[in-house]
Amino acid sequence: MTSPIDPICDADLEAFVDGQLSAERRMEVEKYLAAHPDAAARVMADLLGRDELRLAMRGGALHARSDTAEAAQRLERGLARLRLMARLRRVAAMAALITLGWFAHAELGPLAMTDSAASPRPPAFVEGAMMSHRTALMRATMRSQPQVHDYDADEMRAATGIVMPDLPRDWQLVDVQVFPSSHGPSVELVIAAPDLGTVSLYAARPGNFAVIVPTAVPIGDQGAVYWQVGESAYALIGAADSRALARAAAALATQLQ
């Protein structure tokens, strides 16, 4: 049995109970539940509670009294508010971390990110980004490997679950490739940028939720600036000046807040 491209999370299970998933995603959740009995038991309990509430509100086969139906309505509204508040708390926490990171970036500037001695060890996805970048450079020298000069961002998001930022107007898309990664497909855009030369914008889902502000690291003869927003991680890689690369990455990252 193959795993879904986009790993099943609690939000998918809630949407499954609420009947808000597409047919394809619902099938993926059903396969997941078939392989995870504990999760299936929780979902069945949620479905039962939902059906009982709906039946009580309709005054159906149970012929619920008016006070019972009213209580059921209050309970369902309360549960909906709790789910909304939980989601808002996650969004607020994420926004606060992003704002704090961007404030530090604005105060310290890109120079603060280029000191490799002070930088932590880069996440594993940065290594995947560098491998993809080197592969792209090799492909560019091979006449037998055609390049893709355009792509559909919405189609890419639907297929991979990854949101790609819009490129500056003076950046020229040279190639687009989808590569495998540890937690599903990754996307690489090879770009010719006037001030940066040939760079790669790499994106993947690393399998964890985090907020990482743009952080620069040198890797061999290339420079890399990586960041993460929620469940998607990004890296801008090239041989350009580290300050210019950091500024470009910060502009791209700002779109994803």
Q: Which of 5-19, 111-125, 128-142, 234-248 has the lowest mean pLDDT?
A: 111-125
What pLDDT shows up at residue 27? 84
What pLDDT shows up at residue 103? 54
Entry field: residues in the chain:
257
pLDDT mean over 128-148: 74
Nearest to 214 by CA among 231, 199, 234: 234
What pLDDT shows up at residue 180? 84
| Four-residue CA torsion sign, 157, 206, 9, 101 | negative
What pLDDT shows up at residue 61? 44
Top pLDDT among 161 and 12 is at 161
Return the amino acid letter for 180. P
Top pLDDT among 102 and 252 is at 252
pLDDT digit string, tens, across residues 168-179? 999 999 999 888
Query: 116-254 maps to which CATH number?
Result: 3.30.200.100
Return the amino acid letter for 39. A
Q: Which of 10-24, 28-42, 140-154 has the lowest mean pLDDT?
A: 140-154
* Domain edges within the chain: 10-92, 116-254
Does residue 106 register a pLDDT over 70?
no
172 Rama class: left (phi>0) / alpha (psi -120 to 50) / beta: beta
Does residue 151 register a pLDDT over 60?
yes
Q: Provide the pLDDT confidence category of residue 74 given band limits of 50, 70 and 90.
A: low
What pLDDT shows up at residue 113? 44
Does residue 95 register a pLDDT over 60?
no
pLDDT digit string, tens, across residues 48-73? 766 666 665 555 544 445 555 555 56
What pLDDT shows up at residue 111? 41
Nearest to 39 by CA among 8, 18, 2, 15: 8
Q: Provide the pLDDT confidence category of residue 225 given band limits of 50, 70 and 90.
A: very high
Q: What is the mean pLDDT of the chain?
A: 76
Question: What whole-number distance in Å separates Cα of residue 238 and Cα of residue 253?
Answer: 17
Evaluate if pTM is beyond 0.75.
no
